[in-house]
Structure 1
Amino acid sequence: MGEKNVFGVVVLVMAYGLAVTTFITAQVPALIPSTCNGYEPLLFQCVPYLVIDSSNPPTARCCDGARVGFQRANNYEAIINLCSCLVNVAPYLNFALANLVSLPAACNIPLSFSMDQCIYG
């Protein structure tokens, strides 16, 4: 009888976790401003490096996404959009600003602008 209760609680916790995860995933696009259009690979593929642990190098998938995002910043307006995007979403996605600044160097991506100025102004 006790095993049934434990199993019921486990199922309930799993269902709650799924509901919360689905809700959060559905809400993330609403937090992303229009200046971020096209920079989604940079934003989402680098979450483990930008949020969780920057002591490890970024993954190849992160660097691919970062490369796509940084290549889009190929003129003054696009650079302003990228910087605005990163500064605006960093608090909502819990990005560490220092990790954002170090990302291009960590992925060996040369930039035509300063990430330090982009993030810190």
Structure 2
Amino acid sequence: MGEKKVFGVLMFVMVYGLAVTRLSYGQIPATCNGDEKLLSYCGLYLINNVANPSSDCCNGASDAFKRAMAVPNGQGIRDICNCLRVAGSNLHFHPDKLVSLPIACHIQLSFSMELCVSGP
């Protein structure tokens, strides 16, 4: 009987922890229009709560980066980099995790993620 209670409490704590640490759309800055999935699904990875990004995170990141690279004249890249700098600061993302995200998700970029995150 005691084991069931301990297991129940443990499950509650785990679910509550995920609910609290997953970013809601309301926490995402307006500068990140269209990049909500990347930031929301990658939140646990980017704040250093998990060692590897989830498949949802990688899918959201892949979509956001592809969309950014498809915009002519580099404006999409500038927009996503601005989003990541603002969101990263506001949401306490680790810069090294932002830089490593494309590598961890096996995403090929046409720009330097390090320059993107640190700025010109």
TM above 0.5, one fold? yes
* CA distance, structure 1, for counterparts of residue 25 and residue 56 of structure 2: 23
Alignment correspondent of 1:114: 112
Secondary structure of 2:38 counterpart: helix
TM-score of the superposition, structure 2-length normalised? 0.71
Alignment correspondent of 2:88: 90
Secondary structure of 2:90 counterpart: coil
Distance 1:72 1:57, change over 3 A: same
CA contact (8 A) 1:45 1:62 kept: yes
* CA distance, structure 2, for counterparts of residue 98 and residue 108 of structure 1: 16
Unaligned runs of 5+ residues in structure 1 are 1-20
Unaligned runs of 5+ residues in structure 2 are 1-19
Alignment correspondent of 1:37: 33
Q: What does residue range 9-24 of structure 1 map to in structure 2 within 5 Å?
A: none
* CA distance, structure 1, for counterparts of residue 96 and residue 45 of structure 2: 11
- How far residue 51 of structure 1 moved from its aligned partner, in angstroms, is 0.6
Alignment correspondent of 1:9: none
Aligned length, in residue pairs: 96
What do residues 50-74 of structure 1 show as CA deviations (whole Å, max 9, x unaligned)? 01335x2211111011111111112
Q: Which runs of 4+ in 1 moved over 3 A?
A: 24-27
* CA distance, structure 1, for counterparts of residue 38 and residue 115 of structure 2: 18
Alignment correspondent of 1:4: none
CA contact (8 A) 1:87 1:119 kept: yes
Query: Could you say which structure has the larger radius of gyration?
Result: 1
* CA distance, structure 1, for counterparts of residue 81 and residue 43 of structure 2: 17
Alignment correspondent of 1:6: none
Secondary structure of 2:46 counterpart: helix
* CA distance, structure 2, for counterparts of residue 68 and residue 47 of structure 1: 16
CA contact (8 A) 1:51 1:95 kept: yes
CA RMSD of aligned residues (A): 2.1
CA contact (8 A) 1:38 1:72 kept: no
CA contact (8 A) 2:25 2:36 kept: no
